[in-house]
Amino acid sequence: MITGSNLVGRYESVWLRELAKKTESTLKLKGYSSLTIGAYISHTLKFFEFIKKQPDQVTNEHIEEYLLYILENKKVSS
């Protein structure tokens, strides 16, 4: 089973690891299940791997580009 804790250590980038840890802590405090936390962290990290930008460099265009990529390549339903 993949949970938030399993995902946190996978990333070499310090800021990505810190982002994952902070996200995990915040979601735990809000009472989210470990599976939900794992899913949120996984999607967040995939986004940052795709755009190759730091959080303070992310624009609406980056988000739209990623969403379009998912719709076109990941066969998700709308």
Q: Is residue 25 part of a domain?
A: yes
**Count of domains forming the chain:** 1
pLDDT tens string 1-49? 444 555 555 556 788 888 889 999 999 999 999 999 999 999 998 999 8
Q: Is residue 36 part of a domain?
A: yes
pLDDT tens string 61-70? 999 999 999 9
Q: Is residue 51 part of a domain?
A: yes
Q: Is residue 78 part of a domain?
A: no
3-state secondary structure 27-71: HHHCCCCHHHHHHHHHHHHHHHHHHCCCHHHCCHHHHHHHHHHHH
Domain extent, residue 60, equals 4-73
Q: Is residue 8 part of a domain?
A: yes
Instruction: Please state the pTM of the whole predicted model.
Output: 0.71
